[in-house]
Amino acid sequence: MKRARILMLIAPVAVLIFLFIVLPYVTVLLMSFRAPADGQPYGAGFSVEGYRQFFSQSYYALSLPQTMGLGIVTSLVCLLLGYPVALHIATAPKRWRGLLYGIVLSPLLVGTVVRSYGWTILLGNAGVINTTLRNLGLIERPLPLMYNEFGVVLALAHVFLPFMVLPLLASLQTADPAVRQAARSLGAGRFTVFRRVTLPMSMPGIQSGCILVFVLAISSYVTPALVGGMRVKTTTLLVVDALIDQFQWPFGSAMALTLAISAGIVVLIFARLTRIRWS
């Protein structure tokens, strides 16, 4: 009887996991091994042609490390910008926390397309930044702020910064302030308290925020497409191009699955390294 109740409680979650996680990945896995066909999404039989095409052509293969690099740099930028914000909110008076929460969450009220398009207005050759600098006589030629990795990372950091602040804030707020007060009473300076007490106690939030931002950044399509154009090749852009424009479902599935596996490896390495460092 007890086992039946446990199964009844687990069944809805298991069904949801199967339908929305296991089944899509199994479908992508099977599609990645289907044979290609001209004019059709896929042909009869199975083949590894999709993986061979991806790894044998540098145009596609080099997009994978570039995508991983963009995700890692975006996570680091969000961490450097988001940690002071989260720490300030966690230590702010309670009457101000609601307002600060609203400021952090306010960008999420605007769509990703609108925010990414706003960066094209700011970073373009005839955008606000270059136009202002040229009018002030500080530059003669427009600065290359767009259609490169710099512009993509900047826009991605702006889009996904709230997803870094929220886990950090949750981790900092659950930390016992008495530990920091005890460290100060024993003669530790502010930097020592931060390095030896606050930072290790916030490591769960750092792990969660970095992983969340990294996964969102490498799977982002709109921001690299608008801000980077087709000059910043990410695997996500190539997957969409293969599935929609080229109509090559096995090839696109092979790239998508390779991206997912690579992201999982990076996440596992990061989790392992941070656990060893701060254990």
183-217: per-residue pLDDT in tens? Answer: 767 777 777 877 777 788 888 899 999 999 999 99
For position 279, what pLDDT does the model report? 46
Which residues on neighbouring strands pair with residue 34, listed in sequence order?
A: 46
For position 41, what pLDDT does the model report? 80
Tokens 């680091």, residue located: 76
**Secondary structure of residue 34 in the 3-state scheme:** strand
Structure tokens of 48? 């590894």
Q: Each residue's pLDDT tens digit in the chain (279 positions)?
A: 678 888 888 888 889 999 998 999 899 999 999 988 877 788 888 899 999 999 999 989 999 999 999 999 999 999 999 999 998 888 888 888 888 888 888 888 888 899 999 999 999 888 899 999 999 888 888 899 899 999 999 999 999 999 999 999 988 888 767 677 777 677 777 778 777 777 888 888 999 999 999 999 999 999 999 999 878 889 999 999 998 888 899 999 999 999 999 999 999 999 888 875 544
- Longest Cα–Cα distance of the chain, Å, equals 80
For position 155, what pLDDT does the model report? 94
For position 277, what pLDDT does the model report? 52
Structure tokens of 37? 């066909």
Number of alpha carbons in the 13 Å side-chain half-sphere of residue 241: 10
For position 45, what pLDDT does the model report? 84
CB–CB of 218/234 below 8 Å? Answer: yes
pTM for this one?
0.89
CB–CB of 81/157 below 8 Å? Answer: yes
Structure tokens of 85? 């914000």
For position 156, what pLDDT does the model report? 95
CATH no., domain 64-230: 1.10.3720.10
Structure tokens of 153? 């990372």
Closest CA to 227 of 74, 104, 86: 74
